[in-house]
Amino acid sequence: MKKDVLIVGGGITGLSLSWELSCLGINSILVEKAPFLGGHVSQFACKATETCQKCGACLLEDCLSKLAGAECSDILVNSTIDSFREASRKFNALILQRQSQVINEKCDDCGLCSKVCPVEGALLRPSLDSRLYISNNKCLKSLGIQCEACAQICPQGAIELAEKTKEIKIEASAVAVCTGFTPFDASRKPRLGYQRVPGVLTTLELDSLLRTGNFEPLLPADELKSVAFIQCVGSRDAKSGANYCSRICCGVSIRLARLLKNKYPQAESTIFYMDTQTFEREFDKTFGQAQNEMTFVRAMPAEIRSGEDGRPEVTYHGNDDTKQKVAFDLVILSIGIGPRDPDLPRSFPTLWNNRDGFIGSDDIDVSGGHPGIFVAGANQGPKSITDCVSQSILAASQIKKYLDRVKMGEQL
Amino acid sequence: MTKINLNRLDPQFKNRVAEQPGGEGLKACFACKACTAACPIQPLDKRYDPRKIIRMVLLGMKDQVLGSDFIWLCSSCYSCQEVCPQNVRFTEVMYAIKNLAAQEACIPPGLMAQRSLLRKHGRLYEVGEFENEKRLKFGLPPIIEHPEDFEKLLPDQSVGV
């Protein structure tokens, strides 16, 4: 298959880039490893209260609906790049696409398979998509264990666990790497109690619970009275190798606190911070208003433990110069954005190494350090959804410029 | 709130502390208060507040830091170092500050008494005939003091050499 651009990664940046390229009349093919599109953004809830909070989560749906009508954008999910070769300004990639193990035409959504599956999260139903998927890194069968519980119980015979792959050869003139980020693993900070103390969640978990509608059943409406947000978990943290600001967490926490207040009017939020960052243009206004709506405490907690009543208890040094131990109903760790290994074949040209493990250029530029290779999105550095979209627009114009020069036979 | 006399500040003090082994991380502090919240001494004595000590050093309050007795309160439990996101290594910073205090001859008398005990006996508690007789009853060998090495380490009564 001949294409102008190969896009690696089907998150918001890759999808938006695919749309922007199609607007410029450039053919692209997008390769996504997961069985569904949208990446991390597909887990984010809309944070609108009475008014829109401009979180950007809806930009993904926007992008997907636009792409559904686009003619020159192809998308391959469940696919990885197996090998990669460059010859006379053309990139040849061999794509392996795993065939879906659930036959959608037969599946009648009875839910029996989810009930018998011994592994949590092996059968996925991404919220953007009503179809059922089998997660290949969690399914026991794909890990080499003889388990066919779901296939045996399915009354429709809609599950075929035998793995089938399809090979697709692609020749492209340019490659855009949009592989996104890794959220900080909060269990690397054991003193904050993540996965040890009940009631401690990350912002990402809260976001996806709110999105899927699983949060409300977890806590009855009158039981959520106090919420603590801990900022800079895995950002501005030299010890964890993340000595940078993740740029999004202050906004995320304020929006989530407002959303919770909107859903649970008696819920009071306290935000523990060391430094609030104002990257968004309207942030000063947002922050000023937020100071009236929630409590800001300039202190990082020393530890979070399970208190006597079972609620998480935060130890911090209060504004009155004394040590405080306060129990909250819910503690949310505002986790940062970390670099992600793009998981490309070894024969892929070496990408520029930016600082802290991120790739590509370390300013607004989208070049990847090799002619024809571009890097955009959160794999280049911490970015908000809107920043990712605007960078994809920049990438589209840069790619167009590059393709035009290649067509003219110019020396690069 | 105590008044700070700007004329008495030493702008080079922070650099002197940062040059000491262990003091390197001093200037990376964000004043996030995690160390203070983790410190077991701070609730007992409000003057010993890791965050405030760092601010005092950065401001150049040399006399108030080195001449104080609270810098000797650190229990060296390393809790502050454990929670610090910026790798300030505050316990090590405290050693650096205490070393500087020793160079400026600002050591509390109690510590000086310990030093002379160490020099005389090679240990912080004198072991006499009474203790050795007791040890003999339990079938333990007697303890013989070796103060010679400590005499070399701590040459005379002057400090900071």
Q: How confident is the model at residue A79 (pLDDT cuts 50, 70, 90)?
A: very high
Residue of A nearest to B86 (CA): A238
Same domain, B121 and B76: no
Give dist(CA A126, CA A137) in Å, integer.
16
pLDDT of residue B158: 56
Q: Which fold has domain A2-99+164-181+339-407?
A: FAD/NAD(P)-binding domain (3.50.50)
Is a pLDDT exceeding 90 seen at residue A159?
Answer: no
Same domain, B72 and B136: no
Number of domains making up chain B: 2
The beta-carbon neighbor of A321 closest among B32, B46, B82 is B46
Same domain, B125 and B69: no
Q: Cβ of A363 under 8 Å from any chain B Cβ?
A: no
Same domain, B30 and B61: yes
Residue B61 forms part of a structural domain = yes
Same domain, B16 and B76: yes
Give dist(CA A80, CA A94) in Å, integer.
9
Is a pLDDT exceeding 50 seen at residue B127?
Answer: yes
Using a CB-CB cut-off of 8 Å, the residues of chain A touching B82 are 191
Q: Are A243 and A348 in contact (CB under 8 A)?
A: no
Torsions phi, psi for A305 (to 5 deg):
-125, 165
Is a pLDDT exceeding 80 seen at residue B95?
Answer: yes
Q: Cβ of B30 under 8 Å from any chain A Cβ?
A: yes
Across the interface, whether the CB atoms of A299 and B37 are under 8 A apart is answered yes
Range of the domain at B59: 9-103
pLDDT of residue A100: 76
Across the interface, whether the CB atoms of A317 and B33 are under 8 A apart is answered yes
Across the interface, whether the CB atoms of B83 and A302 are under 8 A apart is answered yes
Using a CB-CB cut-off of 8 Å, the residues of chain A touching B42 are 317, 323
Across the interface, whether the CB atoms of A301 and B31 are under 8 A apart is answered no
Is a pLDDT exceeding 90 seen at residue A83?
Answer: yes
Instruction: Report strand pairing: A268-273 vs A295-298.
Output: parallel
Q: Are A170 and A75 in contact (CB under 8 A)?
A: no
The 3-state DSSP class for residue B121 equals helix
Q: Cβ of A317 under 8 Å from any chain B Cβ?
A: yes
Torsions phi, psi for A338 (to 5 deg):
-115, 165
Across the interface, whether the CB atoms of A301 and B37 are under 8 A apart is answered yes
pLDDT of residue B121: 87
Is a pLDDT exceeding 70 seen at residue A269?
Answer: yes
The predicted complex's ipTM stands at 0.80
Same domain, B127 and B91: no
Question: What are the DSSP calls for A190-232, one per residue?
Answer: GGG-TTTSTTEEEHHHHHHHHHHT-HHHHS-TTT--EEEEEEE
Residue B39 forms part of a structural domain = yes
Residue B158 forms part of a structural domain = no
Q: Cβ of A162 under 8 Å from any chain B Cβ?
A: no
Q: Which residues 6+ apart lie within 8 Å of A383 measured at CB?
A: A247, A248, A337, A377, A391
Give the mean model confidence (pLDDT) for residues A231-254. 93
Secondary structure of A354-387 in HEC code, one letter for each residue: CHHHCECCCCCCCEEEECCEEECCCCCCCCCHHH
Is a pLDDT exceeding 90 seen at residue A313?
Answer: yes
Give the residue from A249, A226, A248, A245 showing the smallest Cα distance to A237: A245
Across the interface, whether the CB atoms of B30 and A275 are under 8 A apart is answered yes
Instruction: Report strand pairing: A312-317 vs A303-306.
Output: antiparallel
B130 CB neighbour count, 10 Å cutoff: 8
Same domain, B30 and B64: yes
Q: Which helix (H) or strand (E) holds A324?
A: strand A323-327
Q: What is the CATH number of the domain that holds B95?
A: 1.10.1060.10
pLDDT of residue A220: 76
Tens of pLDDT, residue by residue over A111-121, are 888 888 888 87
Same domain, B17 and B92: yes
Give dist(CA A306, CA A324) in Å, integer.
15
Give dist(CA A28, CA A6) in Å, integer.
6
Q: How confident is the model at residue B161 (pLDDT cuts 50, 70, 90)?
A: very low
pLDDT of residue A361: 86
The beta-carbon neighbor of A238 closest among B42, B43, B87 is B87
What residues does each domain of chain A span? 2-99+164-181+339-407, 184-337
CA torsion A98→A102→A103→A107, rounded to 10°? -170
Give the mean model confidence (pLDDT) for residues A291-305. 94
Residues in A 95-114 with any Cβ partner in B closer than 8 A: none
Same domain, B120 and B92: no
Q: Which helix (H) or strand (E) holds A92?
A: strand A90-98
Q: Are A354 and A369 in contact (CB under 8 A)?
A: no
Give the mean model confidence (pLDDT) for residues A47-65. 91
The beta-carbon neighbor of B85 closest among A237, A317, A322 is A237
Give the residue from A72, A67, A69, A63 showing the smallest Cα distance to A27: A72
Q: Cβ of B84 under 8 Å from any chain A Cβ?
A: yes
Q: Which fold has domain A184-337?
A: FAD/NAD(P)-binding domain (3.50.50)
**Final residue of a domain: which of B83, B103, B123?**
B103
Q: Count residue pairs from A and B with Cβ separation < 8 A.
A: 60
Is a pLDDT exceeding 60 seen at residue A18?
Answer: yes
Q: How confident is the model at residue B160 (pLDDT cuts 50, 70, 90)?
A: very low
Using a CB-CB cut-off of 8 Å, the residues of chain B touching A299 are 32-34, 37
pLDDT of residue A412: 60
Are A2-99+164-181+339-407 and A184-337 in the same CATH fold?
yes
Residue B147 forms part of a structural domain = yes
Provide the shortest C-alpha distance from residue A284 to chain B (in Å). Answer: 21
Q: How confident is the model at residue B145 (pLDDT cuts 50, 70, 90)?
A: confident
Same domain, B18 and B69: yes
Q: Cβ of B75 under 8 Å from any chain A Cβ?
A: no
pLDDT of residue A28: 95
Give dist(CA A315, CA B37) in Å, integer.
7
Query: What is the percent of chain B with per-residue pLDDT over 90, rounded to a whole number?
Result: 65
Q: Cβ of A301 under 8 Å from any chain B Cβ?
A: yes
Provide the shortest C-alpha distance from residue A246 to chain B (in Å). Answer: 15
Residue B3 forms part of a structural domain = no
Tens of pLDDT, residue by residue over A340-374, are 998 899 889 989 988 899 999 887 889 998 999 99
